[in-house]
Chains A and B, each alone.
Chain A
Amino acid sequence: MLEIKDLHKRFGDTVALDGVSLTAAPGEVVGFVGANGAGKTTTMRIAMGVLAADSGQIVYNGSPLGVEHRRRFGYMPSERGLYPKMKTGEQIAYFGELHGMSRAAARRSAADLLDQLNLSDRAGDFVQDLSLGNQQRVQLAVSLVHDPEALILDEPFSGLDPIAVDVMGTALKDRAAAGAPVIFSSHQLDLIERLCDSVVIIGNGRIIAAGGVDELKAKEVKQLRVSVQTGEDLTASLPGAVTRDGDDYLVEDADDQEVLRIAAAAGRVTHFAYDQPTIAEIFREAVTR
Chain B
Amino acid sequence: MSAANPEPSRLRGLLLVAGREIRVRGLSKANIVSLIVTVVIVGALAALPTLIGGDDGDEKIGLAGANAAAMQAQLDAMGGFDITVYGTAAEAEQAVEDETVEAAVADGSLYSRDGVGNELETRLDAAWQAAGVQTNLANAGLSDQEIAGALTVKPLEFVTLESGGVTGPLDYFTGLVISIIMFMMLMTPVQYIAMGVVEEKSSRIVEILLTSLKPWQLLGGKVIGLGVISLVNLVAMVAVGLGVSAATGMLSDLPPGTASAAVSTVGWWLIAFALFGTLAGGVGSLVSRQEESGSVLTPLIMSLTVSYIGAIFLLNAPTSTFAEILSLVPPFSAIAMPTRMAIADVPAWQIGLSAGLLALAAAGALALGAQLYKRSVLFTGSRLKLSEALRRAA
Q: Which residues of A line the B interface, CB within 8 A?
A: 45, 48-52, 67-68, 70-73, 75-77, 79-86, 90, 94-95, 97-102, 105, 142-143, 146-149, 178, 180
Contact = CB atoms under 8 A, between A and B. Distances in A.
Interface in B167-213: 199-200, 203-213
A52 B393 CA distance: 9
The majority secondary structure among interface residues of chain A is loop
B208 A81 contact: yes
A137 B378 CA distance: 24
Given A48-B211, A67-B214, A81-B204, 7 more contacts: A50-B207, A51-B378, A76-B208, A77-B204, A82-B203, A83-B205, A86-B24
26 contacts: A49-B211, A50-B207, A50-B210, A52-B393, A71-B211, A71-B212, A72-B1, A72-B2, A72-B5, A73-B211, A77-B207, A77-B208, A81-B206, A81-B208, A82-B203, A83-B199, A83-B203, A84-B199, A95-B208, A97-B16, A98-B16, A99-B5, A100-B5, A100-B8, A143-B208, A147-B5
Given A71-B211, A81-B207, A142-B208, A101 B4 contact: yes
Contacts of A101: 4-5
A101 B5 CA distance: 5
Contacts of B214: 67
A45 B24 contact: no
B20 interface: yes
B309 to A, nearest CB: 34
The majority secondary structure among interface residues of chain B is helix
B208 A71 contact: no
A98 B28 contact: no
A178 B8 CA distance: 24
Contacts, number: 91
B16 A94 contact: yes
B291 interface: no
A82 B205 contact: yes
Contact size range, B: 20 to 34
Q: Which of the listed residues B23, B199, B212 has the most CB atoms from chain A within 10 Å of its own CB?
A: B212
Contacts of B24: 83, 85-86
Nearest to B24: A86
Contact of B28 (A49, A76, A85, A142): A85
Given A50-B378, A94-B16, A98-B213, A79 B7 contact: no
B5 A94 contact: no
A99 B212 contact: yes
Nearest to A94: B20
A252 B215 CA distance: 59
Contacts of B13: 98
B6 interface: yes
Interface in B204-246: 204-214
Contact of A149 (B2, B208, B211, B378): B2
Contacts of A51: 378
Contact of A71 (B1, B8, B28, B206): B8
B366 to A, nearest CB: 22
A49 B204 CA distance: 15
A99 B28 CA distance: 25
A45 B203 CA distance: 16
Q: Which of the listed residues A76, A82, A83, A105 has the most CB atoms from chain B within 10 Å of its own CB?
A: A83
A27 to B, nearest CB: 13
B247 to A, nearest CB: 38
Nearest 6 CB-CB pairings of A with B: A81-B205, A81-B204, A81-B203, A79-B204, A100-B5, A100-B8
A28 B390 CA distance: 41
Contacts of A105: 4
